[in-house]
Structure 1
Amino acid sequence: MRKALFLTLSLASLAFAPGAMAAGVAGMAAVSYGEPVLTAVSVSFPDSSTTFRPDASTAELLAEAKGATIIYVSGRTSTLRPSASDEALALRRALSARQYLIARGVSPLKIMVNFASAADFVADNSTPEGRYENQRVDIEVIYVPTY
């Protein structure tokens, strides 16, 4: 719905822009700003933990995050069925990562938080190692080149 509204408003603004009707959309100059650059990392948590502790290489990648355009933080659990307590755990994990980034100079306005329990498994959830990998926070750091 939001995309449709944006598209509608964008097309409406083109229709009323001076010279848009005469020049047409094809006559408008295309501007290229380059492709966004994405850095994605995952940090796993021990059972029931909400303390965000990235390893050294992840911490190094996140040290540059204050220059990002937007950052998506997604908290996850390894439970098989969603529940209110597991949703709260996933949220606390995501908020712990958010706080880590803010403490290192990232503007809170750049950070979008998402969370879900019993979803988005990246490993076999029937093993302790797989569950550990699934109990995680995924962080996507997006940089948009400016010219």
Structure 2
Amino acid sequence: MTNSTWLADSGQTDRLGRCLAETRPPRAVVHLQGDLGAGKSTLARALLRSLGVVGAIRSPTYTLVERYPLAAGGEAWHMDLYRIGDPGELEFLGLDGDEAALWLVEWPERGAGGLPVADLRIELAMEETGRRAVLKGLTEIGQAWLERLTREGAFAADS
């Protein structure tokens, strides 16, 4: 299942983040893909804020991973793998998949083979004066998540 939505401004990006938070499953892996400046970190921040994260939500560009306690329990891990040279470097980050309720992974292709399978892939692309977000459910969890998003009116299905 694939859905897409037009994000004309940061307010609509925040709305998508809220919708993702309101419909998310208890455990999920999300891969955020797109060029530099496409809005991956902006969407991740909106989602984390909507899940009750308070205080600064830092970009993991240099730290590679930032961990946030969630209001409903568990942790969210926001990762930016742009700076890793080899998927084997993930081993040194101390990632234990059982700890995180939510993985938000920017530049997941750089960690290929060392990451859990994505439930949901979000591809962001600059278009004209805004962004296009294409969401793809890659597992049963991801497909069910997209169905909930569609029912909640987060976007109109393109296909």
TM over 0.5: no
**Greater percentage in helix:** 1
TM class by shorter chain equals: 0.3 to 0.5
More strand by share: 2
Which TM-score applies when normalising by structure 1?
Answer: 0.35
For the pair shown, the structure with the greater C-alpha radius of gyration is 1
TM-score (norm 2): 0.33
